[in-house]
Amino acid sequence: MVRREEKGIVLSRHARERLVLRGAAETEVAGCVHEGAWEPAKRGKWHAAKRFAFDAPSPATGTTYRYKTVDVVFVEEDDRIVVVTVKVFFHDE
C-alpha cells in the first residue's frame, strides 16, 4: 500500500469546477490533503481544511478578505486520493 503522503491527488470533474468557481488553487487543495487534519465526513469520505492568507476580493461577492479557508472532501483509495468537492470560506479573522 502506498503511504498517504506519497499518494497522488486526483480531482473529480465536479471538484475541478468548484475549485475554479469558488476561488481555490490546486496547490491549496494539495496543502489541505497533505497538511490538514483529516476528519471523517459522510459516507466513508474524509475532509480536511486549511487557512490561507488571501488579502483579495472574493470571487463571489467582490468583498476583500484577509483569509480564506479551503475545505476539501475526498476519498482515500489504495494508490490515490480522489477529491470529490472543494469548499472555500472567506473571512477576516
Pairing of strands 8-11, 80-91: parallel
**Domain holding 14: CATH number?**
3.30.2310
Distance between CA atoms of 49 and 72, rounded to whole angstroms? Answer: 6
pLDDT of residue 28: 97
The DSSP letter of residue 44 is G
Total domains present in the chain: 1
Q: What is the residue whose three cell numbers read 480522489? A: 82
pLDDT by position in tens, the chain (length 93): 678 778 999 999 999 999 999 999 999 999 999 999 999 999 999 999 999 999 999 998 999 999 999 999 999 999 999 999 999 999 999
Note the maximum CA span of the chain: 45
pTM of the model: 0.92
61: left (phi over 0), alpha (psi -120 to 50) or beta: alpha
